[in-house]
Amino acid sequence: MTRKTPIKIAAFAAVLLASSLVSAQTTQPGDAIDIEVFNPVDGSNVFCVAPAETVQARVFVRPGTDSLTCNLSCSGPSVPGGSANIATAVIDLGFNGDSLTYVPGSIAANSGTAAVQGLPQEQNLADDRIGWALAGSWSTPGDPGSALLSPCDMQMVTTADWLFQMQFQAMGVGMSNLSLRQETDDAPFALSFADICGTEAFKRSNGGIDEVRSAIVMVSNDCNGVIFFDNFGSGDTDRWSESSGS
C-alpha cells in the first residue's frame, strides 16, 4: 500500500471559506440513508489538531424514509423494514497512517441510540482502515458474549443520530481523510446497511445510500493558519493549498 506524503505546513493565512463549510447532521431526509463523519466539538466535518493530540470522530447516520412490513416466523402480523428501519450495518473507515494512529479499544457506541451494539473491526489496521459492524441486539445490552435477540425482539436504528465514536492519535504534521469506504474503493467491508426483512442491502451503488460525507483531519502546529478550500467535504485533497503569507 502506498501512502501519500504528508504536506508540510509553514505559516498559513487564517482563511476558512464559509461557502464550503459542511456541518454534521445537515443532510436532507429522503428515501435513502445518509451517513457522515463529524467532529463532535463543533459539528463540522473538519478537524485540526497539534501533533500528539487526540481526535475523536463520530459517525452519524440518518435512516431513510422508505418503510415496508414483512412477516417473520417469530412475529405477529408483521414487522417493520425498509431504509427507515436499519437493522445491520457494515462501515469501513480509511485514514492516513502517516498522520493518525487509531487508539485500540476506543470505539464506543452511543448509549442513547437503540440497537447500537456493534463490534469494532480492527483486523485491517495494517492497511490504515478501521471498521464497525452492527448485527442486531444482544440479550444483555452491550455484551457480545450474550445471545442475540430474535429479529422480532431486536431494536433497530430508526432515528437520525450518531452511532459510534472512535479515537485517533495525531502524529507528524500532515493531513488525513477519514474516508467512508464504498464499493468503488475495493473494500472487503464496503459501506452498506440492511433491514430485518432480508431485502437487498442498501448501498450507494443501488441508491439505498444517498449522502456520504467523509471528514478531513489536519495535523498542524498552528491550527489558526489552516486553509480549507472549496470541496474539501468530498475528500478532494487536490483542493488544499499552503501559503507563506501571514
Look up the domain containing 113 and give its range.
18-239
In a domain, 3, yes or no: no
In a domain, 90, yes or no: yes
Residues 61-110 pLDDT 10s: 999 999 999 888 877 778 889 999 998 899 999 999 999 999 998 988 88
In a domain, 97, yes or no: yes
In a domain, 117, yes or no: yes
Q: Looking at the 3D structure of the chain, how many domains does it have?
A: 1
In a domain, 5, yes or no: no
In a domain, 26, yes or no: yes
In a domain, 65, yes or no: yes
Tell me the three cell numbers of residue 218: 489536519
Which CATH number is 126's domain given?
A: 2.60.40.680
The pTM of this model reads 0.78
Task: Please report, in tens digits, the pLDDT of each residue of the chain (246 residues total).
Answer: 333 333 333 223 222 322 233 344 567 788 999 999 999 998 888 899 999 999 999 999 999 999 999 888 877 778 889 999 998 899 999 999 999 999 998 988 887 775 556 788 888 899 999 988 887 677 776 676 777 777 777 778 898 999 999 999 999 888 899 999 887 766 566 899 999 888 789 998 889 999 999 999 999 888 876 555 434 444 444 444 443 232
